[in-house]
Amino acid sequence: MTYEHLFSPVSLGAFHLANRIVLAPMTRNRATPDGVPFEYVADYYSQRASGGLLISEATAISKQGSGYPVIPGIWTEKQVEAWSKITKSVHDAGGKILCQLWHTGRIAHSSLVGGQPVSSSAVAPNLEVFTAAFEKVQAETPRELTIAEIKQVVADYKIGAECAKAAGFDGVELHGANGYLIDQFLRDGVNRRTDEYGGSIENRQRFALEVLGAVIDVWGADRVGIRLSPFGAFDDMSDSDPLNNFVTILQSLKALNLAFVHFAFVTGVNEPDALKTFRDVYGHSIITNGAYSGATAEADLEAGLTDATAFGVPFLANPDLPERLKSGAQLNEANPATFYGGTEIGFTDYPTLAAS
């Protein structure tokens, strides 16, 4: 298969990509307890620089937002210094990399964030979460953020955006998907507020739009994207009317002229044409992600449903994924046992074609 569309250039806002293969953001838990990524993380990202665009693993904007053990952050000088070496390695290899800004909200344990987890509302997720000692325990009930605290979290996102710029990233993506804080405001399965941040769809999206405004002040809209998961149930998420909810959200995002909207697992079980609906409503650049193969990515690109495709596990296990797709070479098998935490094993040691 020639993958004519997958290997054609495209511009997403200020980002001019040589191909439409994107490294999806994937948590790998290879940082110190204070959120400093290990030195060999630079190898991991630079190995994958042949993708048109790399999106970093989700990176916490504050201690309060650090809901998993040994994940990287982007709010201290030491974190910025470590990320600077990573972005330089990617740029030296000819790549582009964005920092995905993250606040986990209620998907956190008090041992990690130094106090009761926070969310849009005091609704506990029905699942287990990790403690600082990597133990799994039942999730705690979060505390509802006050309006003053919401403003502080918005300010924390801006600090994260500023630190990402200081670290040499090419732009940022907001993690608004998969049940984390922004998603906890967007969807009414969690957001039970009755003030200006809850109730109507317009109110529930207010937090996301305020965060976007703060980050755009730092980067400009053409270097900012947002990831959304309209139908995702991950982390005990739900919404009473997801299609209408996200159509309304996309109408608001359309006016911002972002670099892109990045959809995770976009198609709902009962909404097989949701991607086309979102595409028609939004009208600007879209990245899609969700168990794509080269062939299914090419099909969606050819159909005009998306502008670029984010690959997760295949890119994790194949640092030269673009070359392998183009040549039709066999893909390495991923080892799930080494996805989270550990060392260079299962991280930077997957073989390339050149090394085979």
Region for 73 from its dihedrals, namely left if φ exceeds 0, alpha if ψ lies in -120 to 50, beta otherwise: beta
Rg of the chain over Cα atoms, rounded to whole angstroms, equals 19
Burial class (CB in 10 A: 0-12, 13-18, 19+), 356: exposed
Q: How far apart are CA 313 and CA 286, in angstroms?
A: 20
What is the CB neighbour count within 10 angstroms for residue 283?
11
Residue among 294, 338, 301 at smallest CA distance from 316: 338
Is 180 labeled as catalytic in the residue annotation?
A: yes
Q: How many residues does the chain have?
A: 356
Please identify which of the residues 3, 44, 68, 180 carries the catalytic annotation.
180
H helix runs in the chain, sequence order: 41-47, 77-92, 110-113, 147-166, 181-186, 201-204, 206-219, 242-254, 274-282, 294-302, 313-317, 321-327
Q: Contact, 204 vs 211, CB < 8 A?
A: no
Instruction: Report CA dihedral (77, 82, 83, 86) to the nearest 10 degrees.
Output: 160
Q: Contact, 297 vs 312, CB < 8 A?
A: no
Please identify every residue annotated as catalytic. 180
